[in-house]
């Protein structure tokens, strides 16, 4: 079929007879790729006269199925009265020119198919089974699609769309061809070669986008000898040019490591591991609590070679060691920690990004033949201070991240340096019961007094943001929320240290920041994990810790699975990823989870809160808003 209007709808005798069904009207809207339409547009799409279409639409208006809007200086437009009525069954609407697909009430089959080649952009609605899904087909999604050829990908696309879209299919075929035009391989003499599918590609693409120090010398019209130290830069440059590189190098798998998994994987985790082993690279993407670390340990066991695990902090390094011991048969003597506190190289080595990227340690890591490098909290590698670690090469590259999105939009760089995303739809995990969906509430807190409001009004820049963040009224709001959930473990997140100390002093609870000594920090986290959930009275000397005030050090990589309440008192100027990390601290397989975001009313925090939480709402999490009384 084509995109021609007549082919899309054909002659419609029912419209000519004045009997137009709501479904036929909706089909006309789909063809127009707009939520509204004029009578002439409906007539054109349904192959009838404008007069007949106007009469048929008037009948729909009389029945209450369609509303009309008289727009000044424009024709009358018509739209469905209740779009929700259209979602009593699955409905797939394609917008081929924008490469977008909207699905109301998608079946599990449709969602599974779409996840193979499309990116979930947004969800609407609040209840499972009633949500609408917006997917976008991006070039990187086509490049990473798990198919043997373009025909198989197109077949999967056709299985979910209501009809064929030739222009969209041709664009997908073109992107598929782009993803298979360059490859890296190891020459029989041991050096790395970049091979292009044609002479023109090598001349017009590679030569224009690669620097002189990336390639040592030409080998033929379609091949060039690559500087091994520049492999990561070559892959990044060609990816940016729209040509992802297939990496077929014969990299060393490292010495074998004897390790088996002792934990049963969930079905989606098994799929992650199987997909990774086929590709030899990728990023496990899933919400906190979805078991990315366990899936990574299963991957380590499956690869069976020397492994380097890169993490952002010493705390996370220690947690990784415990997870390996809990979920595998690894000998403790085969695990080494390499950070500011100790430096051990073992068959499985856990190092911090910062140490691994330093020149004086880099040569040591480069000299090892790693079978697998695992980048935990993978979004770190696109930050300048950590990017050198991405140049470490191994036969397998695995990343882990809940939300591999940075405000700079450099998620493509993550996938270039590590691999393409492999993961589950957050909403799918919520509905399946693997991860408990948190309840998120933005609470708009008033200024405590007119003096504080005036001080904010007269400030500007960073000072204004700090004053809104440290609004003294937030201390009483935190006190109120903790009292309302006295039987739950709680984390209070802050951005500014002065506010953290003020909340901790006022409420008599511990405060953890980057200035807290490592040993004291680890002990407080231990007591929090082992607490029974009954909050001690402020100032008591009980051994359990049921509430912590935490600075950015707690935003990621801290495993506190029994946190039941998260209160974000400040930090709303941060990234969408930071908002997801903080909300994610309460995600776990069972039990209710609550996230409160405090924003000073009438300040820039209102917009920041809505932006951060909108990112969560797109993943299917319900977000509500409350105005706190003055």
Q: Kindly report which listed range (253-257, 382-386, 436-440, 618-622) carries the lowest average pLDDT score.
A: 382-386
Give mean pLDDT, residues 564-579: 66
How big is the CA angle at 208 (ends 204 and 212), to the nearest 5 degrees? 130
Same domain, 534 and 571: yes
Reported as a single tens digit per residue, the pLDDT across 420-449 is: 778 766 656 666 666 666 678 889 999 988
Q: Among residues 406, 431, 456, which one ends one of the domains?
A: 431
| Between 93 and 262, the higher pLDDT residue | 262
Is residue 82 pLDDT above 80, yes or no? no
Same domain, 68 and 151: no
In a domain, 57, yes or no: yes
Structure tokens at 158: 């056709």
Same domain, 197 and 143: no
Whether the CB-CB separation of 133 and 111 falls below 8 Å is answered with yes
Whether the CB-CB separation of 411 and 564 falls below 8 Å is answered with no
Task: Work out the number of other CB atoms within 10 angstroms of the CB of residue 41.
Answer: 21
* Residue 244: burial class (beta carbons within 10 Å; 0-12, 13-18, 19+): buried
Domain with residue 503: its CATH number is 3.40.50.300
Of the pLDDT bands very low, low, confident and very high (cuts 50, 70, 90), residue 543 is low
* Residue 264: burial class (beta carbons within 10 Å; 0-12, 13-18, 19+): exposed
φ and ψ at residue 576, rounded to 5 degrees: -60, -40
Q: Kindly report which listed range (43-57, 327-341, 428-442, 596-610) carries the lowest average pLDDT score.
A: 428-442
Same domain, 409 and 277: yes
Concatenating the DSSP letter of every residue in 529-576 gives HH--S-PPPTT---S---EEEE-GGGSSS---TT--EEEE-S-TTS-H
Q: CA 259, 290, 269, 375 torsion: positive or negative?
A: negative
Same domain, 360 and 403: yes
Same domain, 613 and 471: yes
Is residue 291 pLDDT above 50, yes or no? yes
Give mean pLDDT, residues 279-299: 87
Element holding 443 (H helix, E strand): strand 439-445
Q: CA 597, 599, 605, 611 torsion: positive or negative?
A: positive
Task: Pinpoint the alpha helices (H) of 305-417.
Answer: 314-327, 353-357, 359-367, 411-417
In a domain, 19, yes or no: yes
In a domain, 368, yes or no: yes
pLDDT at residue 78, as a whole number: 76
Is residue 80 pLDDT above 60, yes or no? yes
Domain with residue 67: its CATH number is 1.10.10.10
Q: Kindly report which listed range (252-256, 299-303, 335-339, 589-593) carries the lowest average pLDDT score.
A: 589-593
* Residue 216: burial class (beta carbons within 10 Å; 0-12, 13-18, 19+): middle
How big is the CA angle at 36 (ends 31 and 42), to the nearest 5 degrees? 55
In a domain, 253, yes or no: no
In a domain, 262, yes or no: no
pLDDT at residue 264, as a whole number: 93
Is residue 387 pLDDT above 80, yes or no? no
**Edge to edge, what strands does the sheet with 215-218 contain?**
215-218, 223-226, 192-196, 182-186, 245-248
In a domain, 257, yes or no: no
Is residue 588 pLDDT above 90, yes or no? no
For residue 157, give the nearest of 244, 91, 108, 96 by alpha carbon: 96
Same domain, 115 and 159: yes
Is residue 109 pLDDT above 80, yes or no? no
| Between 89 and 263, the higher pLDDT residue | 263
Whether the CB-CB separation of 623 and 613 falls below 8 Å is answered with yes
469: left (phi over 0), alpha (psi -120 to 50) or beta: alpha
Concatenating the DSSP letter of every residue in 603-626 gives STHHHHHHHHHHHHHTTT--EEEE
pLDDT at residue 265, as a whole number: 93
In terms of average pLDDT, the best of 201-215, 321-335, 534-548 is 321-335
In a domain, 224, yes or no: yes
Question: Can you give the residue range of the structural domain that contains 420?
Answer: 267-431
The crossing angle, in degrees rounded to 10, of helices 166-178 and 150-158 is 150
Look at strands 511-512 and 281-285 and give their pairing: unpaired
Same domain, 426 and 543: no
Same domain, 64 and 95: no
pLDDT at residue 9, as a whole number: 37
Reported as a single tens digit per residue, the pLDDT across 131-160 is: 678 889 998 888 878 788 899 999 999 999
Of the pLDDT bands very low, low, confident and very high (cuts 50, 70, 90), residue 202 is very high
Same domain, 149 and 215: no
Give mean pLDDT, residues 315-340: 92
Q: Among residues 248, 275, 304, which one ends one of the domains?
A: 248
φ and ψ at residue 184, rounded to 5 degrees: -105, 135
Of the pLDDT bands very low, low, confident and very high (cuts 50, 70, 90), residue 269 is very high
Reported as a single tens digit per residue, the pLDDT across 52-66 is: 888 888 888 888 888
Q: Among residues 58, 84, 110, which one ends one of the domains?
A: 84
Reported as a single tens digit per residue, the pLDDT across 400-422 is: 887 654 433 455 667 677 877 78
In a domain, 256, yes or no: no
| Between 11 and 508, the higher pLDDT residue | 508
Mean pLDDT of the chain: 79
Same domain, 18 and 147: no
CA distance readout (Å), 240 to 205, 219, 418: 11, 24, 15
Q: Give the Cα separation of 526 and 204 in Å (integer).
A: 58
Same domain, 504 and 377: no
Domains contained in the chain, number: 5
Whether the CB-CB separation of 215 and 226 falls below 8 Å is answered with yes
């Amino acid at each position: 079929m084509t995109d021609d209007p007549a082919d899309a709808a054909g002659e419609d005798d029912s419209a000519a007879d004045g009997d137009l069904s709501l479904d036929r009207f909706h089909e006309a809207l789909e063809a127009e790729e707009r939520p509204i339409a004029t009578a002439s547009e409906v007539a054109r799409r349904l192959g009838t006269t404008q007069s007949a279409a106007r009469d048929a639409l008037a009948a729909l208006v009389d029945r209450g199925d369609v509303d009309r809007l008289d727009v000044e200086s424009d024709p009358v437009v018509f739209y469905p009265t209740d779009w929700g009525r259209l979602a009593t069954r699955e409905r797939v609407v394609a917008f081929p020119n924008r490469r977008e697909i909207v699905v109301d009430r998608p079946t599990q089959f449709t969602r599974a198919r779409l996840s193979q080649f499309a990116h979930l952009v947004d969800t609407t609605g609040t209840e499972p089974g009633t949500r609408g899904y917006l997917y976008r087909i991006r070039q990187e999604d086509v490049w990473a699609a798990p198919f043997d050829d373009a025909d198989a990908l197109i077949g999967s696309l056709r299985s979910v769309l209501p009809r064929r879209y030739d222009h969209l299919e041709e664009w997908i075929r073109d992107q598929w061809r782009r993803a298979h035009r360059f490859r890296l391989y190891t020459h029989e003499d041991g050096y790395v070669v970049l091979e292009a599918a044609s002479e023109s590609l090598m001349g017009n693409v590679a030569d224009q986008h690669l620097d002189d120090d990336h390639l040592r010398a030409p080998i033929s019209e379609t091949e060039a000898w690559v500087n091994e130290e520049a492999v990561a830069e070559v892959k990044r440059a060609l990816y940016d040019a729209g040509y992802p590189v297939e990496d077929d190098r014969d990299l060393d798998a490292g010495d074998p490591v004897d390790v088996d998994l002792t934990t049963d994987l969930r079905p989606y985790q098994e799929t992650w591991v199987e997909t990774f082993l086929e590709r030899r690279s990728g990023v496990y993407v899933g919400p906190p609590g979805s078991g990315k670390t366990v899936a990574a340990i299963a991957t380590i066991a499956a690869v069976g070679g020397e492994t380097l695990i890169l993490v952002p902090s010493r705390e996370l390094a220690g947690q990784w060691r415990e997870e390996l011991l809990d979920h595998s048969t690894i000998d403790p003597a085969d695990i080494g920690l390499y950070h500011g506190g100790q430096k051990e190289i073992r068959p499985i080595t856990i190092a911090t990004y910062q140490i691994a990227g330093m020149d004086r340690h880099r040569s040591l890591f480069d000299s090892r033949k790693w079978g697998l490098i695992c980048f935990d909290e993978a979004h770190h590698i696109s930050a300048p201070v950590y990017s050198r670690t991405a140049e470490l090469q191994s036969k397998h590259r695995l990343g882990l991240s809940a939300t591999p999105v940075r405000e700079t939009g450099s998620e493509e760089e993550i996938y270039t340096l590590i691999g393409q995303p492999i993961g589950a739809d957050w909403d799918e995990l919520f509905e399946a019961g693997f991860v408990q969906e948190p309840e998120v509430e933005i609470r708009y807190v008033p200024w405590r007094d007119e003096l504080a409001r005036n001080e904010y009004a007269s400030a500007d820049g960073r000072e204004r943001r700090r004053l809104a963040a440290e609004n003294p009224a937030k201390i009483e709001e935190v006190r109120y929320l903790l009292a309302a959930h006295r039987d739950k473990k709680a984390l209070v997140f802050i951005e500014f240290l002065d506010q953290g100390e003020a909340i901790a002093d006022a409420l008599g609870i511990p405060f953890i920041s980057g200035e807290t000594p490592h040993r004291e920090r680890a002990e407080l986290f231990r007591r929090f994990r082992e607490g029974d959930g009954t909050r001690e009275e402020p100032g008591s000397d009980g051994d359990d810790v049921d509430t912590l005030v935490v600075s950015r050090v707690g935003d990621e990589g801290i495993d506190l699975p029994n946190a039941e309440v998260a209160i974000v008192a400040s930090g709303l100027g941060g990234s969408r990823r930071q908002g997801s990390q903080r909300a994610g601290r309460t995600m776990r397989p069972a039990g209710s989870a609550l996230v409160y975001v405090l924003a000073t009313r009438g300040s820039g925090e209102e917009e920041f809160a809505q932006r951060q939480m909108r990112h969560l709402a797109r993943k299917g999490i319900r977000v509500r808003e409350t105005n706190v009384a003055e």
